[in-house]
Chains A and B, each alone.
Chain A
Amino acid sequence: MSTIEAAAENAHDAHGHDHDHPSFLAHHFDTPEQQFDSGKLGIWLFLVTEILFFSGMFCAYAIFRMLRPDVFEGCSQFLNTKLGAINTGVLLFSSLTMAWAVRCSQTRQNKGLVAMLASTLSCAMIFLGVKAIEYSHKWEMGLLPAGLFTFDQNNPHPETDTHYLFYICLPFMFLLAGVVLWLIISLVRGNEFHVKCAKPLTVVAICFFVGIGLGMILESGDSSHSEEEGLEEEVMMAEAVELGNESVLQKISRDDTNSGAKSELIARARQSDTAGTSIVQEGQIISGAIVSVEEDVMTKRQAGVFFSIYYCMTGVHAIHILFGIGFLVWLLVRAVREDFNPQYFGPVDYVGLYWHLVDLIWIYLFPLLYLIR
């Protein structure tokens, strides 16, 4: 690298136009505005490619949902709306802090910038923590992509000795340990810059486990659902409504943790209560959307495809969150170094745009996957 830099220096001197080049302005740009505009156009184009990248999966979603709406509605019950909603909230909040960070960088509020970047990062970590709970729970139940799908409705919680949650947490534990070690070493050495970086990052690393905790609380809150006792009766009532045709909904509602299916059933039972018997006339079936589900929908070839799409979409989204975390950490270190000023805040702005896009995609994923009823 040194040779090139030397060459660049030489050339600079030879042409003698470094007098108006501030240190943040790359040599091939004439003005800071040109540099900023280039970056801005570049990041927008990049976001376009990101949208197109996801569009492939949205197409797949649209195709299969059109072909089998029943499968999508039935399987969507397995996704825990509470966890999804919490994550939506977390991401929305992180968008706020991100926008705030951009503002701070424009107004030379360095402390604020660091704080806002750290908050954004913490939200990202909480998101991943909650996601880890969701994923590991489904993996234990065998709700996996088509080829690996092993879910058995008669035994929704098979004994497994693989502790998926532990494996997901492992890298984050190492991360936390690493950051704490870094903090301690730099405290001992009295290196102020490193301390300033490591402190917020420690909080960030802890936040992953906050997310895990949050997810666990919400999950367990579900299985101790107060309406659980009444479930058997409700199911029977629902069965009556459907003239003995046991629907998949009833099957999947036997799973304690499937709060969505349960509440659906309860709601339907209440509905038929209030409607009296008048709905069930001469073999008519109430045309609730789920009633027409085939019985064998919880198979590799049906539900499996739904979960494939679910994992592909949320997985690729999670990878984007991971990349975003990488960028944000880089920004945080630079912010501690006080790199940004009202003339030069491009990188914060660009990462901000990326982060908003990642949020936006989740805003679409959440209703499309979790909220189908």
Chain B
Amino acid sequence: MSAGSIPSGNQIKDPGYPTSSENYLTNSKGALSWLLTLDHKRIGVMYLIGVMTAFFGAGLLALLIRLHLFRPEGAVFSGPEANNWYNQVFTLHGAIMVFLFIIPSIPAALGNFLVPVMLGAKDVAFPRLNLSSFYLWVAGALFFIAALLASRLDTGWTFYTPYSTTTDTSVILATSGAFILGFSSIFTGLNFIVTINTMRPPGMTWFRMPLFLWATYATSIIQVLATPVLGITLLLLIAEKVMHIGIFDPEFNGDPVTFQHFFWFYSHPAVYIMILPAFGVISDLISVHSHKRIFGYRFIAYSSIAIALLGFLVWGHHMFTSGMGPLTTIIFSALTFTVSVPSAIKVFNWLATMYKGSISLTTPMCFAISFIFLFTIGGLTGLHLGTLATDMHLHDTYFVVAHFHYVMVGGTLVAFLGALFHWWPKMFGKMYNETGGRISALVIFLGFNLTFLPQFVLGSRGMPRRYATYDPEFQTLHQVSTYGTLLLGVGLLISLVVLLRSLYKGERAPANPWGGATLEWQCTSPPPFYNFDRPPLVGDPYDFSDIFWDSENERYVTIEPDRKIAPVEQPEPVHAEGNH
């Protein structure tokens, strides 16, 4: 990969740079051309802005929670309402993070941008539906914020009955918000399934699809199959609240555990909505930045589907202590273990891909490596929780909090950031400062571990979750955790600054800055409005043998042996000095 490594006698294939009338960012102007756009790339960018805003807001709430826990008696909120305030803050933090940030983050924001381009299509199958998904997301978000302003929602993001049916906080507003968001999620998933099924150009077979698309496909299946159940659950909860239908409310003969069943039938698959796209991102990142074919393509592809389907069978592990029968709990526990098998398959395949690859430690790769590390911890601690005997002790403690933050933040968020740094040049046509990016990855990694490792210890020592105050014996660990949060926040800010700065100061990005072989690197950065003039030539997405570093122009290029078009009369022997 050094200078002059491009073998001579070859043609360089590079799409160059887009003109401003081609560039999807500039080909039409005015606010309306964005707000009413049907272009999947612009919708993706709007989602990106939306989810980042949600993340920022919920992140500030998280900071507030951690600062409050700096002291055993609570450092931030005081007075008789202190505990209520605390409950409201963690509720909104959790609900916004889950429904407004993590679920739409990779699938809706990056997926919208990437799926058609990676597939070689002009757009998703239903562009109008796509735009309406976005507006449903906005409407749902507004409902949530209305709930914040109407205030006092303090049920936690799980809306468990009977508390949620008896409290007079703004449950109805918030659940309506979640209901609308559910439809947004369903429509996005439906759109992607249809797109991947019917919009593949000639040559794009199922097994030539980048693994990100496989992961998106699996995610979409879950979105379509699980989210309607959340929809009806929330609708029934609203009905319960308005007219006491007595399905969940014990006062009228209802059964709160039924609510938990309904809720987790969605929400466990939903945790795979959060993590599967991250798996897809990591598969692509690891392969591209190791410049090596992905190891076990089919295993990774099938394991995504396996996770999506198995994920529907394990919801009961959230309710081991809710009074299910002993046999039921044993079955759910055993099924829970089976889900970890496909997850482990993926981790092994990523490691095998890196083995003997020529790894470039770019910013996306730094994030990808820290993903593997953190997700492994998160997944393995899931097994502690899936084991009946240990879960009796660990349930509803900080151990659970640490577990799901390792998978959701250490997993999904880190993968999201990795993906953002990886595809940023493609999305906005600008290169960012690599050093800055790497530093942010490192600071995030350190800050994250400092925040959540102590929580495993706290939980196993008996610190319950969702408490505003605690025994002084836990103080040291809580304080370490709070310091970690500050560090994590700094890391995230560095990322933001690096990315935003690139928009103004960054160099123009070449079409293929990393040496990827998937289709999106074959169109200009940023892509033209139509993605591809004509259906692109589809090759193996992980075959890097004809991609070379062009040090003169700081870019990767695809090369093709020279070919004479239509040999006229006397076919001359083709000189074969090139590759082959």
Contact = CB atoms under 8 A, between A and B. Distances in A.
Given A3-B28, A146-B253, A147-B243, A38 B190 contact: no
B331 interface: no
Contacts of A64: 247
B28 A312 contact: no
Interface stretch (A175-183, A267-275, A300-308, A337-345): A300-308
Interface in B238-291: 239, 243-247, 249, 252-255, 258, 262
Interface stretch (A5-13, A73-81, A163-171, A193-201): A5-13
Nearest to B232: A56
B485 interface: no
B27 A56 contact: no
Contacts of A148: 243-244
A1 interface: yes
Task: For chain B, give the interface size range.
Answer: 35 or more
Interface string A300-320: 111011001101100010000
Interface in B345-360: none
A285 interface: no
Interface string A56-89: 1101100110000000000000000000000000
B243 A41 contact: no
Interface string B217-247: 0000000111111011101100100011111
Contacts of B227: 49
Interface residues of A, number: 46
B194 A60 contact: no
Contacts of B246: 145-147, 300-301, 304-305, 308
A188 interface: no
A52 interface: yes
Contacts of A42: 125-126, 129, 190-191, 194
B225 A48 contact: yes
B30 interface: yes
B199 interface: yes
A37 interface: yes
Nearest to B242: A147
A15 B209 CA distance: 26
Contact of B253 (A6, A60, A302): A302
Contacts of A292: none
Given A4-B28, A53-B232, A305 B198 contact: no
A28 interface: yes
A312 B239 contact: yes
Nearest to A53: B228
B438 interface: no
Contact of B245 (A54, A146, A316): A146
A330 B243 CA distance: 34
Interface stretch (B31-39, B105-113, B390-398, B486-494): B31-39
A316 B235 contact: yes
A206 interface: no
B126 A57 contact: no
Interface string A8-36: 00110001000000000011100000100
Interface of B: 21, 27-30, 32-33, 36-39, 121-127, 129, 186, 190-191, 193-195, 197-199, 224-229, 231-233, 235-236, 239, 243-247, 249, 252-255, 258, 262, 529-530, 533
- Minimum-distance CB pairs A-B, first 6: A147-B244, A56-B232, A308-B245, A146-B246, A28-B123, A146-B252
7 contacts: A7-B33, A27-B122, A28-B125, A28-B127, A145-B239, A146-B254, A147-B243
